[in-house]
Structures are given as structure tokens and as C-alpha cells.
Chains A and B, each alone.
Chain A
């Protein structure tokens, strides 16, 4: 039995560093490589891809990542846990299987595929059976948007991942698993923690929360003393070194950049936090007010004291639906009186939109360089005090044609509007379809996960 289980985080979202997975398995000892690909927006993109091609619908970056780490998996026993399956875990597994075969490693790769999180095909049956999928924020029933639903997935926990490992898999591919379960499951499996081992399950979840955003806990995006954080061009991704007693250390490989410190880990702990006593997951409710941190040598933070409580009887469901269209146009105005010119251009643009009779649910104007991120808190800016300002106008609405007409109204301002304007070389703004999210809860008993070995 292992005394320490090392889980390396190698991907914080779909689009994260292509080099990180390989660096994590080659930079030093690790037992598991954890790759998190799924943000809410990712699921709907993948659903659209699957509609066009039934063999798609998973995070294709994962296949490249698998190729880059395959020698570590086949020769050194590193296991990979990833939610790269998206809305099509079987297709993702088939692609990894192809990769194993074409590289002559067929018998050394055993893939567990977790399914059952995808509720799209069961939605009407479940609604008919009395599940309302009421919006957690607004209370509205799903029927208000039922005909616009693109995808519906329950967030599933550690149990099917543990089952995959018990059945001998060295690659576990899930769909909409919680990010944190990808880390907690292998630790739980190695140490044999039970389903009621609340404190240790909570510790595993918190280890997952810390490493699920990649280098954001190891020096990336770290405000504390940011100037002194070394070598971010070679930033080290995080590793959780877990012990049987539920304590763990967050660290990174020697020779990498970035920094693992109490402040860097604390910043990640509070990221996307709600009520800190109620971090609800399918496996356990973790209490963030019990976490203790201490520096345990350079780039090592020891985490201990964590308490958890019994899980709830619900799972969260993320439903993506079509919600109209949007476009954003920008122009840059130069000193002198840059801000006044940008304000004048906004007035002219809005008058044009009115005269054209275009209808939008919302028109939002921001002045980038002055108040886009802090709004009124940024204080009053005198028109002549900034060297330049970017006027950024966004519109949103149900009618695609109105949004498209808006995109034709930006460029004419260059010749028709206030002077000293530039920054339009990017061309006309792009119209985007909006895919919005509908968070809901469902009884756990309704969702049955399955694990297949391929």
C-alpha cells in the first residue's frame, strides 16, 4: 500500500497549456494525472459538435495529451483521470483506444468509460415523472425554455471513477463529473476510504478544488506579491501529495517556475466560493472554515484539519439552452478629450439604433481604459485626462437580424462620428449565438452511472 498518493493537475480548462500534462508526468514522481476540461460553456460547444458529427462531442485536446503522456502510462504506471468525455465519453474512449493500438500499446491501456450523467435523452420522461428542474436561482420551471435546451448533464461524483480503478483501468474517462471528484476519487481508491468517511472525503474534495484550476494555485493569477513570483513562463502545475489520514501537501515539481505558498493556495481556495461551510458535492459537504494551511518548506503547503458532513440526496444538473444572440463592437478614441469623444460616439450610435427601429433586450456601453472593470467605483474621469479610451458597445436580443444590423453601424462612425478614432481594423463585430445555463437539482436516485471497460 502506498503511503503517499500523488495526484498531478495537468489541465485547468479546455484550452489550457498543451505542454502541462507531459511536464507533470515527466518532471518528477506522480501516481495520477488529473485533467479537467469541462467548464459549463464547454458542454454546450461539445453538444453542438456532436450534433454535426456523432463521433465528436469530447475534448479533442485530450487525445494529444494522451499521446504526450502515453509512455508514462504504459511504462511507469501513471494513471490518467479526465472528464474529457464531454457529451460523448464512448467516442473519446474509442479515440484513446485507437491511439493505444496505433502506437503498439493496445494491451497496456485499459480504459474505463463513465456514462449516465447525460440526461438530455431522458428529459421529457423525467419532466413527465414530476421532476420540474426548477431553476436554482429563479425558481422558474424548465418548461419555459424546454424547446431551446441543448444539453442537460448531472454532476456526478467519485463512485464510478473509483469503480473504474477497481476494475483495473489506467485511464478513466468521464463526462460531466465534478472537477473535484477527479482528484478525490483516486485518493479514495488508494486508501480505501468509505462512503461515510466524511472528513477524509472532504479533504480529497478540497485537494481537488485547489488543483482543478491548474497553475492558478501555484503562482499563476496570484495577486499576493505578484512581482516576485519567479519564472511564470515555465510555471509548475500543482501536485497534491495525499496521505491516508486525510492530510495533504500541495507542491510542484522541482525546477519549475511559479510559487506554492500559503497566500497562493488561499487565493485558489476562495475562488468561486459560496457559503464556505456548505461546499456541496455529490460525495460530501465540505466545510472550508475547517481548513488549516502551513508552509512546509519551499513550494510546499501542508493542508490539514478538514471536516466534512454527509452528502445531500440531490445532484446538481447543468442545462444549456439557446438564449438569443449578441455582438460587441469597439472603437478607440485618442487624446485630447478622448473620453468626451467616446461618449459622444455612444450617443450617436444609440440614436442610430433607435432610428433604425432595432430591438434589443439590452445595450451595454463600457469605456475600456476608464471604467469597464470597476464601473462607477473607478470615479469620475475628466474627458482630457486619458491618452485614449476604447468605446465598447454590446447588444443582446432574440432577433438575429437586429443584432446583425448593429454590427453594420460601428464602422460608419469612423467617418461619420467624433474625430480621432481608430482601432477598427479587426472588421465588423461577429454575431454570436448565446448558450445560457440553467442550474437545477435532481434526486440522486434518478441518475444511474455505468462504467464500461474498453
Chain B
């Protein structure tokens, strides 16, 4: 009965309290703030983990799906191309070099091509500022261009526009790929894993610039990779290498000094991107194009 006396109960309570208090005292640094900070840090870690994993996966994907050499770090580069249309003479060497370098199938398949724009003079008295716009691209412009479609005296402007993958910041082709076979490499290239592509053609439909095609031999999607096998080994893309007029400017934004051609290009030109209204944010810029270029 003595055990149940109030005094004993009190003492019992006191003894049971002690360990709790001890824990509180011993963990005096476990303040509300520190606990919250720890929870926050854990949460941040959990949240950041997928992002880190994705970034890591993207790097791994580069090696799995491209011919990048060992030791190449895609996170240390940001490749880009720019085009000074004022310089292009439409020789077509770039398109030809691309076909050869990348084993692009014969026929109407092109990773890069050249368009010729001919804007005619307006008919006298028509009240129009310009005449019609005629565009052609015989065989991708590979073997140059013949006589213009209208007599020379009727031409107001004529120029050549090389086309290639626009390296979109928000690539619609990457967005729609059902298996993730096409992806944004950390170094700015948009690549395709041919061992993974199911050949559905959705990316071809989604590209606003007509830059993709289904390879009739491999039955997978294909496009300009900026000659990934070359640039990862310190070489220039084939089209840039052969361009006799330096229309195509290629560079690494993460490693370009002020004298680098790509920085010079940005410094010396006001630039335009193709189809900016679609929000794809192309990273390939053009200098000297006309509103008619789409």
C-alpha cells in the first residue's frame, strides 16, 4: 500500500522525469531552429537528388549514345553555331561535307542544307514595296545553284541561307519523344540515341524547322549533331571546316575569349532567330537574314 502513497507517487514521477530532462539537457543544441534546418537540409537533399541524378544521367547518356571519347566532360562546354548570311556564296560545300562526314543517306535527306532566296522588284505602279519571294534548294544546295529563276535585272535581293538544327533551348523534338531517345546534352547539342529510338517520327513532326528525318536504313530519327564525334575531339564540325567564306561560325561559349570568332560574331552583329514566335528559343543565330526567311 505504501507504494501507492502520494509521496511515493510524486517521487516516482520525479524519477521518471529525470531521464527525459537529461535527454533534453544533453541535446541542448536540438533547438527548434536546428531541427528545422536539419529537416530543411534533408528535404533539399531529397529534392535536389533527382536533379543531380538527371544531370548525371544526361552525361552518361552522351557517352552511351554518341561517339564522345573518354575523358570528354560535356558539362565543361557549351557548343553553338552562328551564321553570317551576308558572307554565304551558296557553294554548297557545307551540305556536301555533312553528307559525307555523317553518312547521310542519298536522296532528299539532309542534316544541313542551303536555301536560295530571290526577292523580285515590285511591278512598276503596283504600289508594293517588294515583289514576290522565290525560294529554291536544288539537292539541298549541295552542288551550288544554277541561274536564278528570274532575270537578274528583276531581282531586288538575293541571298543564301544555310540551315541546320537550331539547337533550341526548349526543343519541341525532345519534348515529344515518347522514350526519351532524343535529349539535350549538357554541352548544348541535341542528340539522338539510335539504339533507343523507336522510329515513331513524332520528333520529325514536332521540329518546326524541318531539320529531322527518319533514316531509311536505320529506321531511326536523325539530325545535325554539330558533328559530335568531331567537336568532342577538339575539331570543328565538317560544315564549318569546309566553309570558304566563314559564314558558319562555331564556338564554345564556356571557353571563348573576347577574340574568339563566336564572341566577335555576337559583338559585331544584330542577330535574328528563326520562327521566334514558337518559343523554342533557338541558340543558332543568323545575321543578315530577311523577314521572308522561315
- A and B: interacting chains: no
Interface residues of A (CB under 8 A from B): none
